[in-house]
């Protein structure tokens, strides 16, 4: 084998190795990415992604319903324009309240209910999750109505 052919095979091997590594890294990122969608965007879309995603907004007043025999909780998340019904099984964060910012993570069911497996509430009264603030702004609302800046 000529030295020229050896260099060609070496370059092709390096290119193939870098390509395979890049494909594996991008595949790992795709599996761990979670998209953020506002309640208005959820209501506007006819087909929702099969993957997990986040919804952010305000816990709608008067919508929190707790099941007395289980940890099931239903509530609405609104961006002041549209609302999405959320079902969650588990213990809610201590700061979860009606009228406060929240971000939920999970999947939309065939019935149109958002089945959350993670609920994140704000951590003090002067903070609103960035995703919740963005959802309210996208809907044309004013996030300062819900927190004391």
Residue 95 is assigned to a structural domain of this protein: yes
CATH of the domain at 104: 2.40.50.140
This prediction has a pTM of 0.66
Residue 10 is assigned to a structural domain of this protein: no
Residue 109 is assigned to a structural domain of this protein: yes
- Give the Cβ contact number of residue 79 at 10 Å: 28
Nearest to 120 by CA among 106, 135, 139: 106
Residue 59 is assigned to a structural domain of this protein: yes
The answer to whether 5 is a known ligand-binding residue is no
Residue 40 is assigned to a structural domain of this protein: yes
48: domain range? Answer: 35-121
The answer to whether 123 is a known ligand-binding residue is yes
Residue 6 is assigned to a structural domain of this protein: no
Residue 137 is assigned to a structural domain of this protein: no
Residue 134 is assigned to a structural domain of this protein: no
Collapsing DSSP to helix, strand or coil, 100 comes out as coil
Mean pLDDT per 10-residue section of the chain, whose length is 149 residues = 89 95 88 81 75 87 92 92 92 87 88 90 68 80 68
**Domains held by the chain: number:** 1
pLDDT per residue as tens digits for the range 18-39: 999 999 998 888 777 778 888 8
């Amino acid at each position: 084998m000529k030295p020229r052919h050896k260099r060609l095979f070496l370059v092709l091997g390096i290119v193939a190795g870098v390509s395979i590594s890049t494909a594996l890294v991008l595949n790992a990122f795709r599996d761990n990415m979670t998209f953020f969608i506002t309640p208005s965007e959820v209501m506007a879309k006819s087909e929702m992604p099969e993957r997990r995603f986040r919804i952010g907004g305000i816990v709608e007043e008067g919508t929190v319903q707790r099941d007395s025999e289980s940890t099931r909780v239903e509530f609405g998340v609104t961006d002041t324009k549209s609302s999405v019904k959320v079902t969650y099984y588990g213990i809610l964060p201590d700061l979860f309240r009606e009228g406060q910012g929240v971000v939920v993570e999970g999947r939309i069911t065939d019935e149109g209910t958002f089945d959350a497996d993670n609920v994140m509430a704000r951590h003090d009264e002067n903070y609103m999750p960035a995703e919740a603030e963005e959802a309210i702004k996208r809907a044309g609302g004013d996030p300062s109505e819900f927190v004391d800046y």
